[in-house]
């Protein structure tokens, strides 16, 4: 088992969104224009790209990575892919990332990854269950995922994007997927709870009663467990939930959305840690520096918040390690929905 990498730091990324480009079909849950706030025009592709770069670059002058997200990068015309690599090189970026679907990883694309110094490829995995994948409009299989990870990891870092609460997805399969994926040479993961966006097939399923949204409490517990499994195995969790800048009132019909979802999940982890016998000890500043919902935890476990300037506060990775070992690696996933962990959720206010 790979230990947590305490020295790993995520590099600052400037994102360039390519909504729906390279997509032969649309996944049932997907509306990338709403998620990204970007709609590419047909008139001047690279003007749109440059506008995005200029908009994001205003926030910082020390971005280390340029990343192409959205769409299906590996299915773009090769000439366009090369233009995008060269655009990044022209901006003096030494690190390029892109996201793509697992079945697009070919020998030709691997050659490009090596030649143009693609330092991380994010695979839209979503689920490892072939039936779930197919029913959501995806066109790969678990074998494709295995093959893609194997090919990429020899020359670059691999990231995965997974989902919770998908159409036709067994709730606890997300935890099983985390256990399986953690055995592969994966660097990063993004965890996306499913939301029902306007103008999607999933919206029609929801309106007809063919899709039921997972309970938010169940989603938080599953997200927390998946987070613990990934982090314990040295995989960086880059995101929990959709970006907070999405206009929820106008664009989200239903689903697992909260603007502070990531903080809620991390707070649930901290509560679980304290419930299992852990404590937070350190300076006042350090004790309060791990979660946006710390006041709830302090109120609930006032005797386990020990201000002590003589010791360093426990890191969140140590919290994760403590829980993982005490829970015996979550060998019994059904414990998530039993009273021991259910009472954790009752302490959260969201």
Cα(18)–Cα(222) distance, integer angstroms: 30
Q: Which residues fall within 8 angstroms of residue 301, CB to CB, at 6 or more apart?
A: 271, 274
Higher-confidence residue of 31 and 80: namely 80
Q: Can you give the three-state secondary structure of 76-131, one letter per residue?
A: CCHHHHHHHHHHHHHCCCCEEEEEECHHHCCHHHHHHHHHCCEEEEEEEEECCCHH
Q: How many Cβ atoms sit within 10 Å of the Cβ of residue 329?
A: 15
337 or 261, greater pLDDT:
261
Characterise 209 by phi-psi region: left (phi > 0), alpha (psi -120 to 50), beta (else).
left
Element (H, E) at 191: strand 188-193
Domain at 13-256: CATH architecture: Alpha-Beta Barrel (3.20)
What is the pLDDT at residue 290?
62
- Give the global pTM: 0.91
- Side-chain half-sphere CA neighbours of 347 within 13 A: 25
At residue 292, the pLDDT reads: 60
Question: pLDDT tens across 224-262, in order?
Answer: 999 999 999 999 999 998 876 666 678 899 999 988 899
Contact 186, 156 (CB under 8 A): no
Greater model confidence, 19 or 65 = 65
Q: Are 229 and 177 in contact (CB under 8 A)?
A: no
Q: State the average pLDDT for the chain.
A: 88
The mean pLDDT value for 170-174 works out to 95
Higher pLDDT residue, 196 or 336? Answer: 196
pLDDT band at 337 (very low <50, low <70, confident <90, very high): confident
* Nearest alpha-carbon partner for 45 in 17, 13, 74: 17
pLDDT given at position 111: 97
Task: Answer whether 218's CB lies under 8 Å from 175's CB.
Answer: no
Are 220 and 171 in contact by the 8 Å Cβ rule? The answer is no
Residue 96 CB neighbour total at 10 angstroms: 22
- Using CA atoms, how far apart are residues 245 and 36, in angstroms rounded to an integer? 9
pLDDT attached to residue 245: 61
- Give 193: exposed, middle or buried? Use CB within 10 Å, 0-12, 13-18, 19+: buried
Confidence band for 3, pLDDT divided at 50, 70 and 90: very low
Query: What was the pLDDT predicted at 229?
Result: 97
Q: Which residue blocks in the chain are alpha helix, DSSP H? A: 32-36, 45-57, 78-90, 107-115, 130-135, 142-153, 173-181, 201-207, 216-232, 248-251, 261-275, 284-287, 294-300, 316-326, 339-346
- Please say if the pLDDT value at position 139 is more than 80: yes
Strand 280-282, strand 305-307: pairing: parallel
Mean pLDDT for the stretch of residues 120-141? 96
Is 326 buried (19+), middle (13-18) or exposed (0-12) by CB count in 10 A?
Answer: middle
Alpha-carbon radius of gyration of the chain: 21
Say how far apart CA 293 and CA 17 lie, in whole Å: 31
Per-residue pLDDT for 7 more than 60? no
pLDDT digit string (tens) for 215-229?
999 999 999 999 999
**Is residue 34 over pLDDT 90?**
no
The 3-state DSSP class for residue 7 equals coil
Assess contact for 256 and 288: CB atoms under 8 A. Answer: no
Reported confidence tier of residue 21, pLDDT bands at 50, 70, 90:
confident
Q: What pLDDT was estimated at residue 1?
A: 36
Where are the domains positioned within the chain? Answer: 13-256, 267-346
Q: How far apart are CA 172 and CA 156, in angstroms?
A: 30
pLDDT at 334: 80
Q: What is the pLDDT of residue 342?
A: 73
Has residue 8 got a pLDDT over 50?
A: no
Q: What's the rounded Cα separation, in Å, for the pair 258 and 260? A: 5
Per-residue DSSP letters for 215-255? PHHHHHHHHHHHHHHHHHTT-EEEEESS-TTS-HHHHEEEE
Q: How confident is the model at residue 286 (pLDDT cuts 50, 70, 90)?
A: confident
Query: What is the mean predicted confidence (pLDDT) over 151-176?
Result: 97
Mean of pLDDT values over 193-207: 95
């Amino acid at each position: 088992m790979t230990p947590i990498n305490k020295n790993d730091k995520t590099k600052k990324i400037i994102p360039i969104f390519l909504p729906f480009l390279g997509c032969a079909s649309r996944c049932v849950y997907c509306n990338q224009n709403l998620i990204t706030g970007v709609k590419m025009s047909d008139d001047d592709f690279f003007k749109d790209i440059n506008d995005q770069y200029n908009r994001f670059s205003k926030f910082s002058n020390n971005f280390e990575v340029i990343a192409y997200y959205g769409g299906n990068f590996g299915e773009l015309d090769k000439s366009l892919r090369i233009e995008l690599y060269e655009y990044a090189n022209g901006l003096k970026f030494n690190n390029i990332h892109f996201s793509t679907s697992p079945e697009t990883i070919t020998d030709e694309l691997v050659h490009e990854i090596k030649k143009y110094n693609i330092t991380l490829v994010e695979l839209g995995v979503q689920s490892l269950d072939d039936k779930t994948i197919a029913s959501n409009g995806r066109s790969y299989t678990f074998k494709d995922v295995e093959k893609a990870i194997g090919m990429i990891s020899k020359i670059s870092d691999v990231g995965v994007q997974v989902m919770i609460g998908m159409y036709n997805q067994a709730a606890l399969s997300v935890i099983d997927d985390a256990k399986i994926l953690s055995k592969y040479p994966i660097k990063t993961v993004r965890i996306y709870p499913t939301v029902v966006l306007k103008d999607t097939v999933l919206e029609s399923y929801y309106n007809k009663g063919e899709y039921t949204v997972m309970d938010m409490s169940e989603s938080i517990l599953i997200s927390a467990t998946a987070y613990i499994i990934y982090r314990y195995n040295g995989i960086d969790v880059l995101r929990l939930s959709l970006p907070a800048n999405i206009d929820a009132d106008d664009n989200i019909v239903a689903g697992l959305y909260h603007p502070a979802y990531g903080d809620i999940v991390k707070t649930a982890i901290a509560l679980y840690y304290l419930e299992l016998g852990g404590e937070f000890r350190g300076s006042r500043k350090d004790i309060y520096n791990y979660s946006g919902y710390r006041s709830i935890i302090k109120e609930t476990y006032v005797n386990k918040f020990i201000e002590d300037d003589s010791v360093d506060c426990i890191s969140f990775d140590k919290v994760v390690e403590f829980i993982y070992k005490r829970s015996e690696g979550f060998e019994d996933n059904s414990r998530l929905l039993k009273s021991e962990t259910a009472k954790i959720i009752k302490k959260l206010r969201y």
